[in-house]
Amino acid sequence: MRNAPDLSFPRADLSRIPYGVYHDQETYEREQELIFRGPTWSYLGHEAELPNPGDFLTTYVGETPVILNRAQDGALHAFVNRCAHRGSVVRREVRGNARTHTCIYHQWSYNQAGDLTGIPFRNGVKGKGGLATDFDTACHGLRKLKVQSLKGVVFGSFAETPEPLLDYLDAPVVAHLERLMHSPIRVLGYQRQFIRGNWKLYTDNLRDPYHGGLLHMFQIAFGIARLSNRGGAMMDRRHRHNISYTAEGTDSPDGAKAYEQTARGQAKHQLADHSLLDMRHEWKDGLTLTIMSIFPNVVFQQIRNSLAIRQIRPKGLDAFELHWTYYGYQNDDDEMTKLRLRQANFAGPAGLISMEDGEAIELVHRATARDREAHSIVEMGGRGPIHDQDHLVTDVPMRGFWTYYCELMGFTPGSNM
Amino acid sequence: MIATETRQAISDLYANYAYYIDADRLEEWLDFFTPDCVYKIIPRENAAAGLPLSVMLCENRNMLRDRVVSLREANIYNLHVDRHFISGLRIEAPENGVYPVQANYAVYQTTAEGVSMLFSVGAYDDKVTFVNGVPRFKEKIVVIDTAAIINLLATPL
Ligand code: FES
Ligand SMILES: [Fe+2]
């Protein structure tokens, strides 16, 4: 494979990213094939959303619409939400329960595994019309994905023989998923954010702990937390995924000092209502903020007691939807549920802590549309080999994302300059 | 029957509510709420499914005030002007002096470069009470149809 004409990754350690990679249509088309329909596992949904036989939800893998369905026997199936006949969307609802899926256009119908089971007037009327007798319904089901669930989190892959899910995720990610999914969850609701920027600006944002205490100033302005808290970033062996973490209340005096150089660094405000800061320590590790990004399309958030799964749904080259599923545990008491609902104020499209991400991404997307051969600088935390970080002043995990991205896309970093 | 003056006072409350947001006078806008008010923005898809999660939840006026302070002092958001269009005010008979009120809203945003777009459409499902003869929001529930929030939601709806 070749780099698109004006796209170059001049450094082998991925410390330079060409702006063009966020704006090139051909690259976007290839991402859909090579990444989302490639050897990766994408997040589809959570089993808690499909408790009963027949429950389904509509989701996306990249830009491809997908139905995730629990069959009568309890098994999970995922298949492309596009009719085999002439390509209509089959299921329009966001979720529901059904034994069959019938396309509205000519009423071809499919079972809970996506197999084609019904074709109206298949044999015509009075010997006229209909399909030829050799039409084989078995060859015209909805395209199926491999499905695997880990602690209730459902992943799907278009690959014939994908890497085993546990290998793909690797130990730190699996351990963190187990930490989050320690008991059955209950969905509290959804949020959606429509950001007018390329989806990879968001995966970058997630792997850049450096911006956390500089762009997002709510916690700093109100004296709640700082970049100088204990924190860091953990990765899998191939640096595809990333877990950024912080423990509050572990700040040091030079933290306050470092902020003296910034424009907005002083804690000069007090909350009028402190209940927003009420928190229960749920985990022994003391971590109060963990953001786990799994390549390519999902993020697991723990901000204090606010738990959410964020799915990235690309909507063309220039936009993506961020789809948030907030949850708690089935055995939460009412007070805990109240805490989680209140703390939902921290993140999401109106998040006190993180609303700025949407704006930052849109600003970068707008300003990089030209000068495609120019590059962004990814050197916080150093150049060269990628490894775990024990501080937050870093964007090293971004280079992990881009290493795997280039591998899948057939780009050879460091070769063009 | 709801007295004409009552109807007029509630209707003025909505006009002022919109005016003070659009004029970016949020500190004064807080006065339209009772101290124990609830201000909540919830996507219609959650409300319809009986899911409690909102996009913004202030459980009293102090929390609402914290939002405003945060907007002024901490948050970075898209530079814009809001323009509210509230219509179809529907006032129900009071229960213990509290009037259930529903209305539709549309909020347009205009960028610093003068480009306008429809930002949010939805409905208010409110409770209005009279304090010293003046109507105040005891509950303001904004049910957003535009669940897919464009960019971010900073200024109140
Ligand atoms: S397109 Fe679905 S039945 Fe014809
Ligand atoms: Fe962020």
- pLDDT tens digits along A280-327: 999 999 999 999 999 999 999 999 999 999 999 999 999 999 999 999
Residue-level pLDDT at A225: 67
Q: Let me know: does A346 contact A93? Beta carbons within 8 Å.
A: no
Grade residue A193 by pLDDT with cuts at 50, 70 and 90: very high
Alpha helices in A230-274 (DSSP H): 253-259
Nearest to B66 among A264, A271, A337 (CB): A271
Residue A2 has pLDDT above 80, yes or no: no
Name residue, tokens 């998040």: A351
Predicted confidence (pLDDT) per residue in B93-143, tens digit: 999 999 999 999 999 999 999 999 999 999 999 999 999 999 999 999 999
A307 to chain B, any CB pair closer than 8 A? The answer is no
Q: Can you tell me whether residue B73 is helix, strand or coil?
A: helix
Q: Which of A168-172, A243-247, A297-301, B129-133 has the lowest mean pLDDT?
A: A243-247
Residue-level pLDDT at A224: 78
d(CA A322, CA A358): 10
Grade residue A228 by pLDDT with cuts at 50, 70 and 90: low
Mutation to test the A interface, candidates B54, B69, B111, B113, most A Cβ within 10 Å: B54
Q: Can you tell me whether residue B130 is helix, strand or coil?
A: strand
Predicted confidence (pLDDT) per residue in B6-38, tens digit: 999 999 999 999 999 999 999 999 999 999 999
Beta strand A144-150 pairing with A116-118: unpaired
d(CA B30, CA A107): 54
Range(s) of chain A covered by CATH 2.102.10.10: 42-150
Position with higher pLDDT, A230 vs B50 = B50
Q: Can you tell me whether residue A303 is helix, strand or coil?
A: strand
Residue-level pLDDT at A256: 59
Q: Which of A220-224, A349-353, B46-50 has the lowest mean pLDDT?
A: A220-224
d(CA A120, CA A101): 14
Residue-level pLDDT at A417: 45
d(CA A233, CA A388): 6
Residue-level pLDDT at A220: 86
d(CA A401, CA B26): 42
Grade residue A112 by pLDDT with cuts at 50, 70 and 90: very high
B48 to chain A, any CB pair closer than 8 A? The answer is no
Q: Which of A108-112, A145-149, A173-177, B75-79 has the lowest mean pLDDT?
A: B75-79
Nearest-Cα distance to chain A for B129, in Å, is 23
B153 to chain A, any CB pair closer than 8 A? The answer is yes
Query: For chain B, what is the largest distance between any 2 Cα atoms, rounded to a whole number of angstroms?
Result: 48
Query: For chain A, what is the largest distance between any 2 Cα atoms, rounded to a whole number of angstroms?
Result: 88
- CATH architecture, range A42-150: 3-layer Sandwich (2.102)
Beta strands in B14-133 (DSSP E): 33-43, 56-58, 80-91, 98-111, 116-131
- pTM to 2 decimal places: 0.95
Q: How far is the CA of A151 from the centre of ligand 2 (A)?
A: 27
Peptide bond into A296 cis (omega under 30): yes
- Give the structural domain span for B12: 4-144
Residue A81 has pLDDT above 50, yes or no: yes
Cα B29 to chain centroid, rounded: 10
For residue B149, being part of any structural domain is answered with: no
Alpha carbon nearest to ligand 1 atom 4, residue:
A106
Nearest CA in chain A to B42: A191
- Please state which of the four CATH numbers 3.40.190.10, 3.40.50.620, 3.90.380.10, 3.90.1150.10 is assigned to the domain occupying A172-409: 3.90.380.10
Position with higher pLDDT, A263 vs B143 = B143
Chain-chain contact of B43 with A192 (C-beta, under 8 angstroms): yes
B7 to chain A, any CB pair closer than 8 A? The answer is no
Grade residue B54 by pLDDT with cuts at 50, 70 and 90: very high
For residue B59, being part of any structural domain is answered with: yes
The identity of residue B131, as a single letter, is V
Residue A68 has pLDDT above 80, yes or no: yes
Predicted confidence (pLDDT) per residue in A324-337, tens digit: 999 999 999 999 99
Q: Which of A4, A59, A11 is nearest to A26 (CA)?
A: A4
Pocket test for ligand 1, best of A67, A81, A88, A90 (most atoms within 8 A of CB): A88
Residue-level pLDDT at B15: 98
Dihedral sign for Cα B73, B78, B82, B87, please. Answer: negative
Residue B44 has pLDDT above 70, yes or no: yes
Nearest-Cα distance to chain A for B21, in Å, is 16
Nearest CA in chain A to B154: A350
Total domains, chain B: 1
Q: Which of B24, B54, B119, B79 is nearest to A346 (CA)?
A: B54
* DSSP assigned state of A133: T
Q: How does the average pLDDT of chain A come out, rounded?
A: 93
d(CA B87, CA B96): 26
Grade residue A260 by pLDDT with cuts at 50, 70 and 90: low
Q: Which of A160-164, A214-218, B48-52 has the lowest mean pLDDT?
A: A214-218
DSSP H or E stretch at residue A30: helix A25-31
Contacts of A339 (CB under 8 A, 6+ apart): A278, A279, A280, A305
Task: Compute CA distances A91 → A43, A202, A351, B6, whole Å.
Answer: 19, 28, 32, 48
| ipTM rounded to 2 decimals | 0.96
Instruction: Answer yes or no: is the C-beta of A103 below 6 A from any ligand 1 atom.
Output: yes
Q: Give me the CATH number covering residue B12.
A: 3.10.450.50
d(CA A267, CA B143): 34
Q: Which of A399, A385, A301 is nearest to A351 (CA)?
A: A301
Segment A248-265 mean pLDDT: 63
Segment A66-76 mean pLDDT: 98
Instruction: Answer yes or no: is the C-beta of A108 below 6 A from any ligand 1 atom.
Output: yes
Chain-chain contact of B75 with A356 (C-beta, under 8 angstroms): yes
